Amino acid sequence: QVQLVESGGGVVLAGGSLRLSCTASGRSISTYLMGWFRQAPGKQRDIVAARAGNDIHTYYVESVKGRFTISRDNAKNTVYLQMDNLKPEDTAVYYCAAEEGGIYSRGRVFKYWGQGTQVTVPS
């Protein structure tokens, strides 16, 4: 079993930055496919970014390319989402997710989920 806990959310002005953290326990996530998802009010939860355990394959949804960066620190069993140049449309609950191995493809199911952290960018 893998337990995931997100932190780092908050309220930030448009153009600002936040770094979300997702710390895992129960098992090393060094070989896991890790993903960040978000869910805005009234919308479905959707992928934001993903990073394979091989640290070669990454995926970003088009709307965050060039602004968000997913990274991991295996020594800390933690995955990060650096979010720069935030926009009001980035407002959502952000979730961390983990799945054993492989790379991200649309529709890939993640087994383990965190509880989410709120990010608000006022318009």
Asked if residue 107 has pLDDT above 90, the reply is no
- How does DSSP assign 79-107, residue by residue? EEEEE-S--GGG-EEEEEEEESSS---TT
φ, ψ of residue 34 to 5 degrees: the values are -115, 140
Residue 102, pLDDT score: 86
Q: Which two three-digit tokens encode residue 16?
A: 């600002």
Average pLDDT over residues 21-32: 96
For residue 78, the cross-strand partners are 23, 73
Cα angle for residues 81, 82, 88 (degrees, 5° grid): 100
Residue 55, pLDDT score: 81
Asked if residue 57 has pLDDT above 90, the reply is yes
